[in-house]
Amino acid sequence: MSSPQVKFQLSQLILSLVLGLISTLAVAQEHFNPKGRAASSHTSELQSELRESLPFADERDFEESQRGFIAEPGSRRILGASGNVVWDMGRYDFLLNGQDFDSIHPSLQRQARLNMNFGLYEVVPDFLYQVRGFDLANMTLVRGETGWILFDVLLTNETAAAVLALANEHVAELPVKAVVYSHSHIDHFGGVRGVVDEASVARGEVEIIAPSGFMEEAIAENVYAGNAMSRRAGFQYGRVMPSSPFGQVDSAIGKGLAAGTTGLIAPTLVIQQDFEEHVIDGVSLVFHNTPGTEAPAEMNTWFPEQKVFWAAENITATIHNVYTLRGALVRDALAWSKQINEALYRFGREAEVLVSSHNWPRWGNERIQEVMRAQRDAYANLNNQVLHLANQGVTINEIHNEYRVPQSLQEQWNVRQYHGSEFHNARAVLNRYLGYWDGNPATLAPLSPADSAPLFVEMMGGADAILSRAGELHQAGQYRLAMEILNKLVYAEPANQPAKDMLAAVFEQLGYQYESASMRNVFLSAAQELRNGAPRIPAARGTSPSLARAMTTEQWWDGVAIRIDSGLADGMEFVINFVTPDTGQQFVVEMSGGTLTTIEGYQAEAANATIRIERSDLDTVIMGQTNLPALLQSGVGSVDGDPGVLLQLAAALVQFDPGFEVMPGTVSASEAQD
């Protein structure tokens, strides 16, 4: 592997993030009442009004989502090598019985039904196929002269292998000639080892293609805040809840995340220019880099001969997250809009097929331009109108109640708020330009909720008065007002179970009412934890050698630095020269000011210790199978100088708890110490 590839290899900690999400599902089952709690009369009335006002007469999405169906597999489950269930589409079959559920926003229920596609579809005869419903994303298969070109190979090896097997069975059994990663999110590349092996790539038999910045951005978004992101993602995707009309019903861009094994093979071709034309296995493709859109590194693809536009995840059947609730850098809604506009004018005016990595395709140029313009306008309106209001003094704590999606856009299904929502996306735009402060000094350095809440509770007359008033508000359907006062009480009295139960009931009704799957899932997940406590979430296990090799040594040291407790490290001072002879790299690792820093390409003259270890041997440390002192003591590598600095380092490290408390009073003291 070349030095640039080593430099930008992807960390196995991304896998840890995803495995952290997956692990929450199993531990949550025992806490959840699958029958759920009924929608209130207020929620039912709201849902009834929405069924009358939304544009349900437009059924084109249903026709398009079924077009070209070839076959589905014999089972609605995909199993792993040990018989474990990796994917179970059957858990969503309640959505197919024709019933309207008052516990689901009617628009979201429509999207959830559309995402029940399960099987192999022919999109362009004898050329382009898609398998949907095997994972959060779709896999798109292009038939070249001698084999398959695969676009986005899903999250897990098991689901990716099942997709390829289905296509080989019903279309043609062909070798894989190329894999295209459209962007740097793991649900689009993690299944690569289910469809190709590294030896074939090394021999040049298979090309792996990715956008500029792919390796770097996958690290930056997922690793450094990975533990916190994993915990929050369990809320966003509803992984702490089984699927039911009262729980997780959809993830907007697909049903959910599969629970299998994940890997990575580094790209062999990185698309560097804004537009690059290549011929892969006889197929002409124009790659269009779109940095700063749905992902920091992402690209569309145009098939000029077939007039097919592949929109990656930049255009789906929903408005996406400008700010994703699991936590990530805020995306640029204006840049996103401009990239869609560029694609519209460069490719969209000729396109006859629009296909994406989620949801379903569209056919016909008029229809394609309609969708692309609506998507362009939705992101541009979000950016422009939020700033329009901000420039008139509307603050980040008000904007989500002031911004309104234009009615003309609300009447188009493809820009409804299933994944993102106008609430958290509006706040994200304002935060991107002006930051989190609203201009009021009282909110610049506020008390923590647990510190301010007791005063609020005292001034409101105590817990009994709050519960009484909250009960009245709940009965009146004033759920957001009830939430405001109950949240204060729960922070002030984390052990007050009646308060937590009432707040859970409020969260539940709000969750039923939200159109956004992300919003629904976080409210219902929080309700479950308030009632039953946080589930025990084991640390992620099973990282693979391929993913350990993907992390650069400097990135690993940066991850170690995040685990340093400055209070424990303050006063420590040492310098380590760290050398990996097999890669020819050298580093200086320095502890000072309670902080660990690393720089590559240097050696300190007066280091306390010099550690030499093969990078290939360090992989076991990165995978969590051992630690550095133990590895050195076993005779692997060498230490010159004072080995005691490693003991100092170890004494300042903290092991993160993957199940930390989100809602107050949901993790007991004993659990928190585990």
pLDDT tens sequence across 484-541: 999 999 999 999 999 999 999 999 999 999 999 999 999 999 999 999 988 776 554 3
pLDDT score, position 546: 57
**pTM of structure:** 0.88
**Are the beta carbons of 511 and 527 closer than 8 angstroms?**
yes
Q: Which residues pair with 354 in a beta bridge?
A: 309, 362
Asked if the structure places residue 637 within a domain, the reply is: yes
Question: Tell me: the pLDDT tens digits for 588-612?
Answer: 999 999 999 999 999 999 999 999 9
Domain residue limits at 603: 552-651
Question: Tell me: the pLDDT tens digits for 16-71?
Answer: 433 343 333 333 333 334 445 899 999 999 999 999 999 999 999 999 999 999 99
How many CB atoms within 10 Å of residue 631?
17
Query: In angstroms, rounded to a whole number, what is the distance separating the alpha carbons of residues 421 and 322?
Result: 9
Q: Are strands 85-88 and 574-580 parallel, antiparallel or unpaired?
A: unpaired
pLDDT score, position 407: 95
Asked if the structure places residue 190 within a domain, the reply is: yes
Could you give the strand order of the β-sheet that contains 299-303, starting from the edge strand earlier in sequence? 275-280, 283-289, 299-303, 308-310, 353-355, 362-363
Query: In angstroms, rounded to a whole number, what is the distance separating the alpha carbons of residues 624 and 646?
Result: 17
Most confident segment among 8-12, 35-39, 258-262: 258-262
| Domain boundary residue, one of 272, 307, 338 | 272
For the residues 97-107, what does the mean pLDDT come to?
97
Asked if the structure places residue 610 within a domain, the reply is: yes
Average pLDDT, the chain: 90
Question: Tell me: the pLDDT tens digits for 500-516?
Answer: 999 999 999 999 999 99
Higher-pLDDT residue of 572, 11: 572
For the residues 202-226, what does the mean pLDDT come to?
85
Task: Return the exposure string of 38-65: e unless at least 16 CB atoms fall within 10 Å of the residue's CB, then b.
Answer: ebbebbeebbeeeeeebeeeeeebeebb
Q: How far is CA 314 from CA 309, 377, 434, in A?
A: 12, 13, 25
What CATH number did the domain enclosing 575 receive?
3.30.1050.10
Name the band, by pLDDT with cuts 50, 70 and 90, for residue 547: low
pLDDT score, position 539: 52
The tokens of 171 are what?
């279309």
Query: In angstroms, rounded to a whole number, what is the distance separating the alpha carbons of residues 160 and 401?
Result: 42
Question: Tell me: the pLDDT tens digits for 327-361?
Answer: 888 999 999 999 999 999 999 999 999 999 999 99
pLDDT score, position 163: 98
Cα-Cα end-to-end distance for the chain: 40
What CATH number did the domain enclosing 193 receive?
3.60.15.30
| Domain boundary residue, one of 240, 272, 304 | 272
Name the band, by pLDDT with cuts 50, 70 and 90, for residue 223: low
Q: How far is CA 267 from CA 16, 56, 206, 407, 587, in A?
A: 21, 43, 10, 43, 26
User: Which parts of 319-409 are beta strand (E)?
Assistant: 353-355, 362-363
Task: Return the exposure string of 480-512: e unless at least 16 CB atoms fall within 10 Å of the residue's CB, then b.
Answer: ebbbebbbbbbbbbbebeebbebbbbbbbbbbb
CB neighbours of 450 closer than 8 A, spacing ≥ 6? Answer: 491, 492, 494, 664
Asked if the structure places residue 461 within a domain, the reply is: no
Which of 472, 493, 470 is CA-nearest to residue 482? 470
Asked if the structure places residue 614 within a domain, the reply is: yes
Which of 231, 322, 106 is CA-nearest to residue 522? 231
Name the band, by pLDDT with cuts 50, 70 and 90, for residue 264: confident
In the predicted model, is pLDDT for residue 176 greater than 50? yes
| Domain boundary residue, one of 234, 255, 272 | 272
DSSP 142-201: EE-SSSEEEE---S-HHHHHHHHHHHHHHT----EEEEE--BSSGGGTTTGGGT--HHHH
Which of 609, 603, 608, 653 is CA-nearest to residue 627? 653
In the predicted model, is pLDDT for residue 144 greater than 60? yes
The tokens of 217 are what?
């951005």
The tokens of 484 are what?
């405001």
Q: How far is CA 318 from CA 150, 323, 413, in A?
A: 24, 14, 7
Helix (H) or strand (E) holding 62: helix 60-66
Asked if the structure places residue 294 within a domain, the reply is: no
Sign of the Cα torsion 317, 319, 323, 324 reads: negative
Asked if the structure places residue 9 within a domain, the reply is: yes
Q: Are strands 207-211 and 176-180 parallel, antiparallel or unpaired?
A: parallel
For the residues 147-175, what does the mean pLDDT come to?
98
Query: In angstroms, rounded to a whole number, what is the distance separating the alpha carbons of residues 253 and 361?
Result: 13
CB neighbours of 186 closer than 8 A, spacing ≥ 6? Answer: 14, 15, 17, 18, 155, 218, 222, 262
CB neighbours of 380 closer than 8 A, spacing ≥ 6? Answer: 333, 334, 337
State the Cα torsion 231-234-240-244 to the nearest 10°.
170
**Are the beta carbons of 323 and 431 closer than 8 angstroms?**
yes
| Number of domains the chain is built from | 2
Q: Which residues pair with 666 in a beta bridge?
A: none
How many CB atoms within 10 Å of residue 203?
9
